[in-house]
Chains A and B, each alone.
Chain A
Amino acid sequence: MSKNTKKVFWGFLLFDYKAVNEYLEKMAEKGWMLQKVGRYTAQFKAIEPQSIKFYVDVFPGSVLSADNNQELINYRDLCEESGWIFVDDYYQLQIFFAPSDTSTPIPIQTDKVIEQKIAESKIVKNELLPFTLLLLFYLLIFASDSLNPFQIEYTELLTFIGVTNTVLLPYIIFFNLIIILLMSIWVFRTRKAVKRGIPLPKPNIKIAKIRGTWFYFSFLFIFLIYFISIIGDVISTPITGIIMLFIPLIGVFGGLFLRKYVKNNGLNNKKSIIFVAVSTILIVTIGVVIMIFGIINASVFITKERELPQGYEVMKLDDFYDGNNVVLHRNFDNGNSPLVPTHYDYYEISKKGSIRTEHYQAINSYFAKIIFDGIIEEHDEKLIITNPTDWNADDVVFLDNTGTILILKSNKVVLIDGDFDFSDSNTRNIVLSKLF
């Protein structure tokens, strides 16, 4: 980028459009004239510092209008004829300026009732509905997690996405709530101004910048964390992860394709609307098909038995039957997450019996305890408490019967389930010598 131009973070929320005029005028006084603007960045070019009048207006047409939309052209032509020069637009907002050597033209909006109605219907309603729907969706996830939404589900700790949901969901709900609140305040204040016959309120640039920056950085932060989480899960469980990755990818590419189509062709005829509707249904259908196919395929993959790799501490039938045993089925499954960097599950089945080991290694004893308590909660009907010192552990319980034992030691949780009596001291010694 040359010294004659500079790119800056834009960061204005759409309903703060009235603060943009003042911001652009101040930039011009400092010697920077707006060239291009997007929702995230704006490009300025160097000019002689001067006083330039700007006007940001809300286009009353459709947000899905094409760039060559005749209505948009007519609107801009009319504004230009009245003395305003078009600079650029983003979403519904149209930015104009009046050259400094001419007298200031008539403001683009001279009727605040009409201006308020356009701004409310084109900016707030367009965004309020998706944000409200999103909030309801997140609240549903939050509430459905368990009877007590503030209790951490141990299964959520085992995947990257699960950890992200647990940590970020309250923030996402807060984020949505604040945006809905800000929009509602905007609607209330502008309606009140119209009723009183006073000019529509103009937000302070600093406040507008702060909330805009908070919004876009939060959005980016949430997006990045989820992106990293998906990648984490793809690396952790490649087959299921990669198949599942296709769903957001189809959404993103499908969305981009539709956006490009609408930009080029507009939505001015029934044919286009039918095309977009059919494409949207197709994108969703492909997503659902891939998801179902992915689940089936993943389960097919999981039913293929995996041998136990080296370096994992598990109980084997050979440990109890002195090698005199033919294993008919075995399977190994593993995964990881930022809070539980290692967790795996291994079982063996023979004619004589079966044994399963679930092993969870959390980053600290706090999360290990959540896993320990979570597993107990799944079996709380027949719980037999045993003495942890016998097992050289922090806590030990038999679940259902003495054939299933759950052990907590520091940051490690081990569940062993088999056709053995773990209350027996010999069996205990076998397990202790192998796992602890």
Chain B
Amino acid sequence: MAREQLKNLTEPMYYILLALTTEQHGYGIMQQVDKITNGRVKIGAGTLYALLSRFEKEHLIVQVAEDGRRKIYSLTEKGLGILNDEYVRLNRLVLDGKAYLNKKGEKK
């Protein structure tokens, strides 16, 4: 069910899960997403908090340690699977578009 609901990840969801391929605390995730996307994607603290709660509830991530008051999270097998599925899906979209859009670009 959860897998079905999260079939297509939104941009923030995708980058949060991507950031969590290494263990991170909340603020670390925000910084990591900023770094991965060269500042293109920003995730607000409230949005991150809501998504982390949802991912945790659906067992996509798990708390692995605590650093003071900070919770440190990591991807679960399930989370990694969903992230991989999304990566494959996005790749397919890019490949599908490549042949057509590149040609169009050449014509110009």
Within 8 A of A (CB), among B1-56: 10, 12, 26-27, 30, 42-51, 53
* Structural contact, B69 and A106, CB atoms closer than 8 A: no
What are the residues of chain A within 8 A of B71 when measuring CB–CB? 74
User: CA–CA, A224 to B69, complex, Å?
Assistant: 46
User: CA–CA, A73 to B51, complex, Å?
Assistant: 17
* Structural contact, B50 and A82, CB atoms closer than 8 A: no
* Structural contact, A106 and B44, CB atoms closer than 8 A: yes
What are the residues of chain B within 8 A of A82 when measuring CB–CB? 27, 30, 44-45
How many contacts between A and B, using CB within 8 angstroms? 63
- DSSP majority for the B interface? helix
User: CA–CA, A77 to B69, complex, Å?
Assistant: 8
User: CA–CA, A38 to B51, complex, Å?
Assistant: 29
| B70 within 8 A of partner (CB) | yes
* Structural contact, A78 and B48, CB atoms closer than 8 A: yes
| A110 within 8 A of partner (CB) | yes
User: CA–CA, A187 to B108, complex, Å?
Assistant: 46
Determine how close the nearest CB of chain A comes to the CB of B10; give it in whole angstroms: 7
What are the residues of chain A within 8 A of B44 when measuring CB–CB? 82, 106-111
Interface size class of B (residues with CB under 8 A): 10 to 19
Q: Knowing A74-B69, A77-B69, A114-B51 touch, does A57 contact B46 (C-beta < 8 A)?
A: yes
* Structural contact, A81 and B45, CB atoms closer than 8 A: yes
What are the residues of chain B within 8 A of A84 when measuring CB–CB? 45
| A31 within 8 A of partner (CB) | no
Chain A 59-86 against B: per-residue CB contact (8 Å), 1 yes, 0 no?
A: 0100000000000011101110110100
What are the residues of chain B within 8 A of A60 when measuring CB–CB? 46, 49-50, 53
Smallest Cβ-Cβ distance to B53: which chain A residue: A60
User: CA–CA, A55 to B78, complex, Å?
Assistant: 35
* Structural contact, B49 and A78, CB atoms closer than 8 A: yes
| A115 within 8 A of partner (CB) | yes
What are the residues of chain B within 8 A of A107 when measuring CB–CB? 44
Q: Which of A73, A78, A111, A113 contacts B26 (CB 8 A)?
A: A78
| A118 within 8 A of partner (CB) | yes
Smallest Cβ-Cβ distance to B49: which chain A residue: A75
User: CA–CA, A109 to B10, complex, Å?
Assistant: 15
A sample of 12 cross-chain residue pairs with beta-carbon separation below 8 angstroms, ordered by A number, consists of: A60-B49, A73-B69, A74-B69, A74-B71, A75-B46, A78-B45, A78-B49, A81-B26, A106-B42, A108-B45, A109-B47, A111-B44
